[in-house]
Each structure stands twice: as structure tokens, then as C-alpha cells.
Chains A and B, each alone.
Chain A
Amino acid sequence: MTNRSTLIGALAFLVLAAAAPALPPWLISLATIAFAHALVVLGLVIMWRAGLVSFGQALYYAVGAYCVALVSRFTGITDAFVLIVLGGLAAGLLAVLVGFLLARYREIFFAMLSLAMSMILYGVLVKTEALGSTDGFNVAPATFLGYAPEGAMLNLALFWLVLVLSALAAAAIGVYFRSVAGAIAVPVRDNEIRIEFLGLSVNRLIHLKLVIAGILGGVGGALAAMTISHVDPNMAYWTTSGGFVFVTILAGAGSIAAAFVGSFAFEMLRSIAVALLPGAWQLILGSVLLITILFVPDGLGSLFMRKTRGKEGEPA
């Protein structure tokens, strides 16, 4: 991220935070979900830069969401900050574990193995009567360090929380992209042999990327669970993963901000499509994806990157 894009990001953050109380509640809810999903998408972006596509990112998303739902149900803890940390940790730990296997695979094998992992969780959730089976169960309203807002105020509070976490995540990922491990993404895609012979384990590097993406997925899922006040196995289903991949392609891997813009555009598009063509909204989404791949192959981010990108392109 250049200084200019940091500035634009900070400005967007302030404008959104200030304008939120004046915006219609449906838009606030939509934006909250969109930004929570954008965190999951940022995880996919991190992997995509290294040439890896996960078709099972809903695994971490669902683990984050169910972690929040279970903890609040069985311990009574409803504090959003605690729950988000727990959701991120649970998903991150899972990523550490499955990463030992996943980090050894590439390309279609990586994609399908990720999918397989998420389908196992989906199957377990569907079969578990205690967790409401296919219906899932409700999540108690979140509280914020003792503050317990209701109704529209709760939605606003959640929106602000998502906004702050998005800003933190964007800043942290910006730092990561400029670090040794973060910058060695295209090189991984280009030539793993050279990296190994320079003295770095590519598998460990990918494992690290998986864990970062897992944490982001878990935090996104935790936020979604609190926003929707409900969890169900669909959160782990492959169509959910597919939605994240959709947004990743829409946004492109070139810019952090694009993940948020892309995710928001996707949620808007889906709402409009469902309203216009209730039975066939997938038709509209599919067409948009087609157009994106044909005409904006590097994603929305490339549209505004072209102008800001200077000569010193970093090894992305």
C-alpha cells in the first residue's frame, strides 16, 4: 500500500464511521456482513498471491461462527471482543493443524483438499442434533465491555466494530505484504525450487499464509454470527466458499481495499438480484462473474491501482 492509498483508506473509514447513524438500517446490516466477509476474502487474497485458491475457506468462517455461538450459549459470555478473539483463535488453531497437510499440496489438489475439509465440517454440523442440525441455532445479542445495546443501536455498534477490525486488518496485512514472508508470494508462484535453494521452506511459508487466512476467516465468521444472530451448517457449505472465491476474483489480488469494495459490491448485487429475479438470482451473479473475468481479469482493484501504481512496483 502506498501512502496515498493509506490516506484514502483512512478517509473512507472516517466517512463511513461518521455517516453510519444516518444510513438506513438495511444498508448498515448489509455493509456489516460485507466487511466481515471481506476479512475472509483477504485471507483468500493472501493465498491467491502465492498462486493458491482455497475452495473451502468456509471451514474457518464456520468454525469462527460456531465458536462464538457455542461459547455464548454454554458460558453466557456475550462480549464481542472476547468472542472475536476466540473465534479467530479457534479457526487459526484449526488452520495450524490442517495446514500440516494442506501446505504440501498445490493447484487443484490444494483447492479440492480445502473443499474436502470444509465438507467434513459441514457433514458433522448437519449430523449433530445438539447443534440444531440443518437448522442451526440462535446467537445471543453481543455486548461490548458491559454495554448492551439493542435493536438499531446494536447493529450500529456491530458495524463500528467491523469497521475498526477491518481497518486494523487492512493495516496489518499492508505491513505483512511488505515483509519478507508476505512479499514472497509471487516468487512462490514463479519458482519454488529457487526459494528452497535460497534456504527457505516453501511449505512452511504456505503454512504461515494458511494460518493468517484461517484467523481472518474465523474473525469474519465470528462477526457474521453476531450480526446475523444465528449460525447454521450452510456457513460451512461449499457455496459459501464459492461466494468468497467469487469476491476474490471480483476484487483481484492487487489491492487490500478492493476486497472491501468487492465484498460490498457482491452483497449489494446479491440483494438486488434476489429482489429482481427471486428464482434465478444466480443468473445475474454468474453473468457478473463472467464479465469480470472477461473484461477485468485482475479485478476491481486493478481499475484504481492502474492510476496509483508508481514505477517501484513491489514484488507482490
Chain B
Amino acid sequence: MTPILSVAGLEKTFGSVVAARDITIDVPAEQTVGIIGANGAGKTTFVNMVTGHLRPSKGTIRFGDKDITGMASRDITRLGISRSFQVAQIFPSLTVFENMCVAAAIARDADGILRRAFTPLRSGQTVAEAEAAIELFQIGSYREARVATLPQGIRKLLDIAMAVAGWPRILLLDEPTSGISIEEKFGLMDVVMSALKSRRVTILFVEHDMEIIGRYADRVLAFYDGTIIADGPPAEALANERVQTLISGTKLRTEAAHA
């Protein structure tokens, strides 16, 4: 079976900084991949390249059979690869419901910019999809709240809900739990993972907390200095000697978790 995402020899340099080198991975459909690595290891750069935010210096990215290397992010989104952001990217002046309506309307409507000038934003189907997403991500109690006033966890959920509005096949989550208190992290990840699984999305998520990685990932990619130093099931990858020494805190936390 062809992998849904296939990355080969990916490289990205910023001047003299090499943020990614020779990254080669295949991801089968509906796998949940956890991406770990210290700050500056190149995780966000990897997400940015796959989603078209950055053009790779070298290498290819394939979505199924299609070569998407260097395509614009909006075209990649329309093909079915979506993302959420380390810092939630939402519309602060609008309410949660309005944010979802905008996302659903853009995701649903065909390409033509002119057609968009004639189809109402709040058509029955768009509103229904917005409502469904709000329910799926359990943010209904904030429906009418202006986004600028939302707690961090709700902002993150909304960001992800908006990314899923177009029913993507692959979703890349860049640090979904960053800025969230330890107590809330698992609750948030439970909501996100069950929502995504119900839509059969292939997931790649960046995460620092090894407990969360152990709980939700089928497979772990460990980044160090722009390269992948371990790739395998969580138990195996996290036990890797280089991962334990190079990715700070891993050893401590996994031991604490097993204690």
C-alpha cells in the first residue's frame, strides 16, 4: 500500500543553519505519529515544509502519489493536508462560532473567488458544519465568546477545529499542548484525538511531554539537530540511548512515569 505521506531526502538551510537534513520517512494512512526533539531541533521546520509554509532546499514530499514539494500552503490544504500552530492562529475579533463559520465556509466552497462573492457565508450547510465541529471539539460553552478572551486550551482546540474544517486526510499539530497546564493536557489531547480518529485523520503531532507521546502515539520520530535519530514504536524510540541522552528530560520523565 502506498504511504499517505512520503518524504525523501528533505533538507532545509537558513544561511549557515541547517534546520533539516536528509529527512526520509513514510507514514501509512491513519497512523498517529509523535514528533519529539529539543527546541531548535527542526520540528516546526519539518511541519512548515510539509504544509507548504517553507520551501525545502532539497528533497521531495509526496501526498499519496502526488508530488507536493514547493506547493503553496493553500493548495496543499485543499488537497487534504492541514495543520494547527504552536501559537493558535485564529480570528481574535470574532466569536468561536464565527471563527468556525469562516473556516467551514472557506473549506467547503469551490475554488472560484467570484463564486465566493455570491454564496452566503452562513448558508445552512456551513452553519451545520460549524455547529458539528464545535460539538466535536467540545467548545460549545464558549460558542458566543469573542476569541480574544478565551483561555489558552480553548484557543488551541478552536485552532485545531478550524484546521479540521476541510476534512483533511492528514493533520499536523505543532505542539498542541504548549502553554497548557499539566492537569489540562490529557483532557485536551483526549478531545483532540477522539475527534480526529472519528474522522480517520492521519496525525503527526509535535510534543514535549513523553507521557503524552506514550499515551497517544503509534510511532515516534525523534529529531535532533535537523535529523531523525530514532523512528519506531514509542517504547522502542524512547528507550533509544541517543534519544535519552540528546533529548533533554526524556530519561528523567520516562523513569518517573514507569515508577
Contact = CB atoms under 8 A, between A and B. Distances in A.
A184 B102 contact: yes
Interface string A164-204: 00000000000110111111101101110111111111001
A314 interface: yes
Determine the interface band of chain A, counting residues with CB < 8 A from chain B: 20 to 34
Contact of A180 (B91, B116, B166): B116
Interface string A293-316: 000000000000000000100110
> Is chain A's binding surface mostly helix, strand, loop or mixed?
helix
Contacts of A208: 113-114, 117
Interface in B118-137: 118-122
B106 A200 contact: yes
Contacts of B106: 180, 184, 195, 198-200
A180 B120 contact: yes
B74 A179 contact: no
Nearest to B108: A180
Determine the interface band of chain B, counting residues with CB < 8 A from chain A: 35 or more
Contact of A196 (B73, B107, B109, B120): B73
A113 interface: no
A178 B116 contact: no
A214 to B, nearest CB: 14
A172 B109 CA distance: 20
B77 A197 contact: yes
B118 A179 contact: yes
B32 to A, nearest CB: 21
A171 to B, nearest CB: 14
A149 B89 CA distance: 59
A227 to B, nearest CB: 29
A197 B73 contact: yes
Given A183-B105, A195-B106, A198-B166, 9 more contacts: A179-B121, A180-B109, A187-B91, A191-B91, A198-B74, A198-B107, A208-B117, A314-B98, A315-B102
Interface of B: 51, 72-75, 77-78, 82-83, 85, 89-94, 98, 101-103, 105-107, 109, 113-114, 116-122, 144, 162-163, 165-166
Interface of A: 175-176, 178-184, 186-187, 189-191, 193-201, 204-205, 207-208, 212, 311, 314-315
19 contacts: A180-B105, A182-B117, A186-B91, A187-B94, A187-B102, A194-B162, A196-B74, A197-B51, A197-B74, A197-B82, A198-B162, A199-B74, A199-B78, A200-B116, A201-B72, A205-B113, A207-B113, A314-B122, A315-B102
